Chain A
Amino acid sequence: MLEEMTKLYQKMMNEWAKDATPKWFEFLKSEPFLNWMKILHIYMFEGREKLDKFMENINDVLRLASKDDIKDLVDAQRLVIDLLEEITDRLDKIESKLNKGGK
């Protein structure tokens, strides 16, 4: 009895998943959903922009630097170092070519 009930439950779940997946995909591709998605992401970003600006103002008042700000600066620094290394490599190559040419 218990075994049959468990098997029945699993069978029902599998069948539901099998039926529901294509229906869900059809829903995601439907015009009403896509229009809702468009409205949502436009308004969502507007709302988030306002919130970000508000938080920036608070940070300005409190004069706080976040960990992310420092990370960004380190990343920028690393990129500049990479760029300088690349320029040095290129200059070395040009220099060695010039030396080989004897001019």
Chain B
Amino acid sequence: MEEKKKVDRVTETLEDVKPKVENVDNDNPFIKDAKFFLNEFVIKNINRMKNMYDILTGKYSNKKGVTPYEVIYRKNRFRILRYISNHPKRFKVPIVFVYALINRYYVLDIAEGRSLVAYLLEKGFDVYMVDWGIPSKVEGKNTIADYIEKYLDRGVNKIREITGQDKVTIFGYCLGAIMSLIYSARYPEKVKNLALLTPPVDFGGDDGVLTVMTNEKYLDLDRITEYYQHLIPADFLQAGFDFKNLIGTILMPSGFWEVLANDKALESFFPMHHWVHDNTPIAATYWKEYIQKFYRENAFMKNSLTLNGRKLNFKDIKCPLLAIAAAYDDIVTLKCAEGALKIVGSEDKSMIVKKAGHVGVVTGAMASKEVWPDIYSWLAARSERIKVEKDNIEIIE
């Protein structure tokens, strides 16, 4: 009993002293600085050293996507990937992601918790990815028509064959959104839904940096393609983007110093850093055609695109359309993306605008909370559900 009283007395004394000590700490600038110094310069630096060791021992090596897949179709270096999932299938219509021909496809499956692919698999979709691959020199003469008719269409046919579905959902991102639009106009009978993420469509009066820099007055496309002949190297394309992002590049060391002390931030930082610098060359003929027809001639808005002599009419696209744009995007401006809704003949068309940048809109911290659920709701409402029969009762999963 006596012992308990003693313990209680000590506890009471400590409780009395604690706020006094805290008050002393808060008012005393020396102690405040010492605490700050301990946290900022000692603890954080120890963490930085630990993380630096992890980096050097390869903990953050480039994984190129986190979801397992199988290759179901291959043509030269072009591949169609089918993502493997343990989650039950709930929707019949497969989703085909069409990524850009520059940079790599795995940005949509960049890391744990930041993968749109994994999210859609978890929701019960069958997900496929178009990997355009790193083109070889002999593919340098490939045109937009070649990529649509000889590569993408054959890949989509393979998916239709495997799944037994006549139509697929095409989901294009950036330059891949352009390819998706063209594909949907060329083969409307094969497209059930069309979703476009930051689609560069309307270049008329667009004052984006890239649009101004590719103006024919200043950029000599013939001279560049004449020099490179087959492929426009990744370094050349990346130099343009790096130059545009000069301010970010200047601030990079300071930002990285902060990231280095934070384990969670580092896990997100490295996959993105690898991806940004994992560029691919692009077929010279395709690149020239892309800048000429879209940036300079605004072929989508003028409905003047031809594919191997066949005139395309974007009003032929009647399937549901979803366009997602990013308000802070300096690669595809909001006005440029809005064009997608104007050119198609669809009655069911919607647009989502999010406060994010070009890549952050699909991989950023807000994407999983704000963008992915919107994408899922839109797709779920337009993708046929798998019916399961149990005890003679039809259940819609």
Contacts and interface: CB of A to CB of B under 8 A. Distances in A.
A72 B251 contact: no
Nearest to A9: B254
Contact of A42 (B136, B209, B223): B223
B84 interface: no
A82 B75 contact: yes
Taking residues whose C-beta sits less than 8 angstroms from the other chain, chain B's interface range is 20 to 34
A75 B36 CA distance: 59
Interface stretch (B184-192, B213-221, B262-270, B361-369): B213-221
A17 interface: yes
A34 B212 contact: yes
Nearest to A3: B36
A78 B76 contact: yes
Taking residues whose C-beta sits less than 8 angstroms from the other chain, chain A's interface range is 20 to 34
A45 B246 CA distance: 23
B220 A42 contact: yes
Nearest to B207: A29
B223 A28 contact: no
Contacts, number: 74
- Majority secondary structure, B binding face: helix
Given A2-B37, A37-B218, A75 B223 contact: no
Nearest to B30: A1
Interface string A63-103: 00000000110011011001000000000000000000000
A99 B137 CA distance: 40
B223 A41 contact: yes
A102 to B, nearest CB: 27
Given A45-B223, A76-B138, A79-B76, 10 more contacts: A2-B33, A6-B36, A13-B251, A17-B247, A29-B209, A35-B218, A41-B219, A41-B223, A75-B138, A79-B138
Interface of B: 29, 32-33, 36-37, 40, 75-76, 136-139, 207, 209, 212-213, 215, 217-220, 223-224, 227, 243-244, 246-248, 251, 254, 330
